[in-house]
Structure 1
């Protein structure tokens, strides 16, 4: 049995693990990234051509991360030679009582935000129905995971990181001098030891760590948005987030709705964090019929620019904490990034920076991301 001795191992090569490897390698650190699947796989949460860069936050920790994320996404795009963020803007509408606070917080951080009357918003973005004032955030837009992950991994490799796909971590054991990992590498069992491990295993986090560390409860769900065919080819499409009201026309909603245009695929729309609870190794990838029918009803009423009867379903996972705040913490030789709760992708390079800070001892994560914060067990 082969044994390797390493400095820092990143377990999980999705968005957050790739960003951590990039951040660590950029600091000249010795880092090895292990990913159980092949590049471009569709088994987790970091695939597809679009994610909303929704700036709709009022919490000061998230707003500070937003401002940093804008800079880091631009840095990644410049260094990687690919456009990763399309600034189409994002519009949030509906009954969310926080929109005024969001506008004020974003303006305070130097990010643009303005309220528009429903009629003006409908004239600008006629593919969407608005029934009240709209918060327009021009600095928002769409990110491209399918482009971003290869860029981060390539830049990490260029700076010395060892990127290994199709390597499954079977066991993580904490030792006095670091961690001991047992791997399946193409049918061969390998063992390696490392000074520390950054665990960014997404939906597999709880399964991998088991009872070795005390973590907030992480609930894995299979989410099922869809791409709807565009009916109005001349309509402009920002990203959008819609919070329901209390009237009969909102009956049957599962949650707020998010959406955006995916070039070449249509208008993506979905419920947020309400899919069936799943084991990530035993997913059906099949949409839940009642939720999909309700999403079509939503599209018929609120998205006049699409054909609600022409759609392609999508499948991904959320790993959600009870308060929907992330887990970014260090417990012994384990640095943990988990529980991104369906809204983490926009912060990917900032999360990578925070995980690198925790791994190198150069900084701490905001307290709201502590693994031991109250109320999340």
Structure 2
């Protein structure tokens, strides 16, 4: 049967973590689902590659802490189905001056997430491998830890196929023809038809949305992923060093870190920022200022790490203006649904994002306040969801 003769219940465009998790949830619900990926798999041209990601309940917005409670449950289901160990529970330490942690603590309390507060003396006693300012305090998120990113992505894709889904890579969609049945054209000359379309394209979102007359306020940025060598072997192993978030970090920008795990004796430590880029031309961006700021921070804060990065890799964040996600229907075409703007914190939420988007496809009302994720929140006169804090 020719591809144009098949009409899928849903076509998901983009096989990163959000698209793959969504396709998995849809196929699991019995929806005939096609998952399209523009690049040959596996690839490192988006936001879902690499070995690890931080996961946590600690958020300044209580809604994300609540969502992560369910997301942890969904990760456990995927682990059981796939037979793969995807989550390592080493805890997450969130540090900053006291005022910055008030909302984070409130979100944890409201959602009954296990945590404890640490004073400066406790910080120095329990984490002698970190040097922090005397005015810092911390929260230890007991459910925090590490997601094995590459394994998680493959697990979603493999389970999606086991539930009857179809995955096609090397199929870049270059046109969208809306209608009751949406037609997608790809650069290979294929046509694909679906009753519903979900666009989960990360930094490439606006390229395809332009075909539908819509642009979202998205900024793809290139984030250098930096690895720093231990001066003493094992000083920052996962039994001595949890995942780490400094909410003020360098010049007010958060810094995050993971224990030595991916590469022997190397700690991942990164600035949550970088230059705005065209994702197709990311290599030309100047990231020297990010590297310089991180070298200064590591030298001051992590005395047992070499202050010059040993390895540098690249990730792309696709930021929305308020760093909250877009999970919404196209304002003109009800059967086109958009997932974008994950702003560097979407990986851990992926299983739940998949369930929310599947609910939208099936006409169900998600259990969370979707005003946070609406496209219209940036319309003139619209209410920014951060006002609900």
TM-score normalised over the length of structure 2: 0.89
Contiguous gaps of at least 5 residues in structure 2: 383-389
Residues 193-228 of structure 1: CA distance to partner in whole angstroms, max 9, x if unpaired? 211111001000001111625454011111113011
Partner of 2:182: 179
- One of 136, 146, 152 as aligned partner of 2:150: 146
In 1, the alpha carbon distance for the partners of 2:356 and 2:9 equals 18
Partner of 1:39: 41
Partner of 2:66: 64
In 2, the alpha carbon distance for the partners of 1:31 and 1:261 equals 38
Partner of 1:113: 115
In 1, the alpha carbon distance for the partners of 2:83 and 2:127 equals 31
Task: Give 1:281 deviation, angstroms.
Answer: 1.2
Alignment of 1:257-276 (within 5 A): 257-265=255-263, 266-273=266-273, 275-276=274-275
In 2, the alpha carbon distance for the partners of 1:285 and 1:305 equals 32
Partner of 1:256: 254
Do the aligned partners of 2:223 and 2:316 also contact (CA within 8 Å) in 1?
Answer: yes
In 2, the alpha carbon distance for the partners of 1:363 and 1:263 equals 40
Alignment of 1:101-250 (within 5 A): 101-131=103-133, 132-175=136-179, 177-184=180-187, 188-210=188-210, 212-235=212-235, 236-244=240-248
In 1, the alpha carbon distance for the partners of 2:52 and 2:286 equals 19
Residues 17-64 of structure 1: CA distance to partner in whole angstroms, max 9, x if unpaired? 000011101111110000111223111110111111132214232121
Residues 125-165 of structure 1: CA distance to partner in whole angstroms, max 9, x if unpaired? 33322332211111101111111000001111100100111
In 2, the alpha carbon distance for the partners of 1:232 and 1:89 equals 22
Do the aligned partners of 1:54 and 1:239 also contact (CA within 8 Å) in 2?
Answer: no
TM-score normalised over the length of structure 1: 0.91
In 2, the alpha carbon distance for the partners of 1:323 and 1:257 equals 18
Do the aligned partners of 1:6 and 1:193 also contact (CA within 8 Å) in 2?
Answer: yes
In 1, the alpha carbon distance for the partners of 2:282 and 2:312 equals 15
Cα gap change, 1:310 to 1:207, in 2 (>3 Å): closer
Report SS of the residue matched to 2:168.
Answer: strand
Do the aligned partners of 2:87 and 2:148 also contact (CA within 8 Å) in 1?
Answer: yes
Task: Give 1:121 deviation, angstroms.
Answer: 2.4
Partner of 1:284: 283
Do the aligned partners of 2:57 and 2:69 also contact (CA within 8 Å) in 1?
Answer: no
Do the aligned partners of 1:129 and 1:303 also contact (CA within 8 Å) in 2?
Answer: yes
Count residues in correspondence: 366
Q: Confirm whether residue 304 of structure 1 aligns to residue 295 of structure 2.
A: no
In 2, the alpha carbon distance for the partners of 1:243 and 1:375 equals 29
In 1, the alpha carbon distance for the partners of 2:202 and 2:98 equals 29
In 1, the alpha carbon distance for the partners of 2:149 and 2:66 equals 22
Do the aligned partners of 1:320 and 1:342 also contact (CA within 8 Å) in 2?
Answer: yes
CA RMSD of aligned residues (A): 2.0
- Which segment is superposed worse, 322-331 or 211-220? 211-220
Cα gap change, 1:171 to 1:151, in 2 (>3 Å): same
Do the aligned partners of 1:285 and 1:315 also contact (CA within 8 Å) in 2?
Answer: no
In 2, the alpha carbon distance for the partners of 1:360 and 1:215 equals 25
Partner of 2:4: 3
Question: 1 or 2, which has the higher strand percentage?
Answer: 1
Report SS of the residue matched to 1:283.
Answer: helix
Contiguous gaps of at least 5 residues in structure 1: none
In 2, the alpha carbon distance for the partners of 1:239 and 1:359 equals 35
